[in-house]
Amino acid sequence: MPYRPSLTSTSRRDFLLVGARLSAAGAVVLSSGFTYAAATPTTASHGAIVERDLLAALGERIGLEAATMLDTGHTPLHLGFIDAASSDIQALEDGIAHGLGLACCAEVGRTHWDAPAAPILAAAIVSEPASGRKLVVEIERTALSLIGMIEDTRISPIARKQSLWNVPADNLYRIRRVV
């Protein structure tokens, strides 16, 4: 069943804003000169099956951006991952940890929690234990729809990853500095 926010928690403005963001992201993907094949309802709407490589690429992008925002140098980081979807997004968690590891050149500590009834796909808490600084990354459920759109294009796997990196971050995730 596709995610439908409750009317009490989502204003009309927020609803329109999400629709505009999805439209803009779709335009970015389609305006790159790719041919688009019709998406199957199970892939885009339900977010059931998406390529592990694209989830890992999204995770790497998130990990690199989070590490850059913390500006830790070579200090080890810790990743707390809250899975609100299922174990099918394990590649996303692995990608975030890999991106953090690339940025800090050190081993990344990891903790995993499940939260089945959340309005987001997942959340990542990236912290630097030495200083106590933290970031929270909220990964939107719409990210699966965008990945589904990218998968349905008839292009090479490398071009798919590149188009994922070109989608504006606002359409995929939000990063907030906590401390």
> Using one digit for the tens of pLDDT, what is the confidence trace for 33-54?
433 333 332 233 334 467 888 9
Determine the Cα–Cα distance for residues 128 and 138; give it in Å rounded to an integer: 18
How confident is residue 7, by pLDDT bands cut at 50, 70 and 90?
A: very low
Say whether pLDDT at 112 is over 60: yes
Instruction: Select the more confidently predicted residue: 26 or 174.
Output: 174
| Single pTM value for the model | 0.70
Please say whether the beta carbons of 179 and 72 come within 8 A.
no
Given this model, what pLDDT does residue 115 score? 83
Architecture of domain 12-177: 2-Layer Sandwich (3.30)
75: pLDDT confidence band, cut at 50, 70 and 90? Answer: confident
Ordered by start, the domain boundaries in the chain are 12-177
What does each C-alpha distance from 111 to 59, 108, 174 come to in angstroms?
16, 10, 20
Half-sphere exposure of 69 (CA within 13 A, CB side): 21
Which range (36-40, 61-65, 95-99, 125-129) has the least confidence? 36-40
